[in-house]
Amino acid sequence: DTAVSQTPKYLVTQMGNDKSIKCEQNLGHDTMYWYKQDSKKFLKIMFSYNNKELIINETVPNRFSPKSPDKAHLNLHINSLELGDSAVYFCASSGRGLQFFGPGTRLTVT
């Protein structure tokens, strides 16, 4: 019974395309996040939502747009994909200060 799930697990696409990554958590948490892990394996926050409201938006290009239809879901839409967007994207949720991570989506832009 997966706590935080993401789809797809792998995504290969060409430059200029638009793609979405979906995230769902069944932990009843109010806060969800998107993190990016670059080629050097460094993990960095992108967005955070609390009760469907955006509370953190780091310096991320506006080609990236998160959407939270309800507390259990936080999707990430990326427009006009660039080579530099290739990375692993992790969704997470938090409760009582403990963050739980999804398995990650490996995005490759060719």
Partner 1 sequence: KQEVTQIPAALSVPEGENLVLNCSFTDSAIYNLQWFRQDPGKGLTSLLLIQSSQREQTSGRLNASLDKSSGRSTLYIAASQPGDSATYLCAVTIGANSKLTFGKGITLSVRP
Query: In the bound complex, what is the minimum distance in angstroms from residue 94's beta carbon to partner 1?
Result: 5
Q: Nearest approach, Cβ of 99 to partner 1 (angstroms)?
A: 6
Distance of CA 29 to the CA centre of its chain: 16
3-class secondary structure per residue, 37-105: ECCCCCEEEEEEEECCEEEEECCCCCCEEEEEEECCEEEEEECCCCHHHCEEEEEEEEECCEEEECCCE
Choosing from 74, 90, 107, 109, the residue that interacts with partner 1 (CB under 8 A) is 90
Site string for partner 1, 26-55 (x = CB under 8 A): ----xx-x-x----xxxxxx--x-x----x
Residues counted in the chain: 110
Binding-site ranges for partner 1 (CB under 8 A): 30-31, 33, 35, 40-45, 48, 50, 55-56, 58, 90, 92, 94, 96-104, 106
